[in-house]
Amino acid sequence: MKISDNKLVTLEYQLFVQNSNGSKELMEETTAEKPLTYFHGLGMMMPKFEQNLFGREAGETFEFEVACADAYGEYSNDNIIELPYSVFSEDEVLDSDKVFKGAVVPLIDSTGQRINAEVVEIGKSSVTVDLNHPLAGEDLFFTGKIIDVHTPTEDELQALTSCNCGSCNCGNCGGCN
């Protein structure tokens, strides 16, 4: 069976980015024992990722690049913002175990979507965060192998689309964000 819309795809992959000396650096990896499974055509993956896999079948290997413009976009200094302590604490006292330089903190945007931000500086009454995706500005290089492609069962559909937390903005659900 070939990868097409509404198919359940299981694959292993390695994700690389090019580092400053021109060589490729491994950023993420799945394995046959702990593969990536996704529902093709529902927007669970980057569109260019899905386009590069469309039509392939189980057993095939792949290697392709997704340019940063088609991945997480260019890095933007406009995405570095200063927020008051009140965003992180009701009593305006920061929990230094959770909010420190380099920490990734969950935030909710104006539409209710959960986003992650990296703390870049802590001031006297504000916290500066970077809202850029960690891979913003990077071209992504994927290699891998398709493990399985099939029409999902009712149980698989339920597992991929159900949310046990009561909110599809929690960031902890398998595929409901």
Same domain, 15 and 64: yes
Same domain, 67 and 82: no
Expressed as residue numbers, the domain containing 142 is: 8-72+135-161
CATH number of the structural domain spanning residue 15:
3.10.50.40
CA nearest neighbour of 141 among 74, 5, 57, 48: 48
CATH number of the structural domain spanning residue 109:
2.40.10.330
Residue 37 token pair: 């499974």
Q: How many Cα atoms sit within 13 Å of 4 on the Cβ side?
A: 3
Per-residue pLDDT tens digits of the chain, which is 177 residues long: 999 999 999 999 999 999 888 899 999 999 999 999 999 998 999 999 999 999 999 999 999 999 999 999 999 999 999 999 989 887 878 888 899 999 999 998 889 889 999 999 999 999 999 999 999 999 999 999 999 999 999 998 888 666 655 445 455 454 444
In whole angstroms, what is the distance from residue 54 CA to residue 65 CA?
15
Local structure of residue 86 (DSSP, 8 states):
G
Same domain, 16 and 103: no
Residue-level pLDDT at 96: 86
Residue-level pLDDT at 162: 66
Same domain, 18 and 54: yes
CA 118 vs. chain centroid, Å, equals 15
Asked if 94 and 85 touch (Cβ cutoff 8 Å), the reply is yes
Other beta carbons within 10 angstroms of residue 125's beta carbon come to 10
Residue-level pLDDT at 12: 98
Could you tell me if residue 168 is inside a domain? no
Q: How many Cα atoms sit within 13 Å of 149 on the Cβ side?
A: 18
Residue-level pLDDT at 64: 98
**150 Cβ contact list (under 8 Å, min separation 6):** 1, 7, 8
Same domain, 31 and 63: yes
Other beta carbons within 10 angstroms of residue 102's beta carbon come to 7
Same domain, 149 and 67: yes
Residue-level pLDDT at 168: 52
Residue-level pLDDT at 158: 82
Could you tell me if residue 174 is inside a domain? no
Same domain, 116 and 155: no
Could you tell me if residue 28 is inside a domain? yes
74-99 pLDDT, tens digit per residue, is: 999 999 999 999 898 878 788 888 99
Same domain, 94 and 122: yes
Domain count, the chain: 2
User: Taking the C-alpha atoms of 90, 94, 98 and 99 in order, what is their torsion angle to the nearest 10 degrees?
Assistant: 120
- Give the gyration radius of the chain's Cα atoms: 19
Tokens 């969950």, residue? 106
Same domain, 13 and 91: no
Same domain, 111 and 61: no
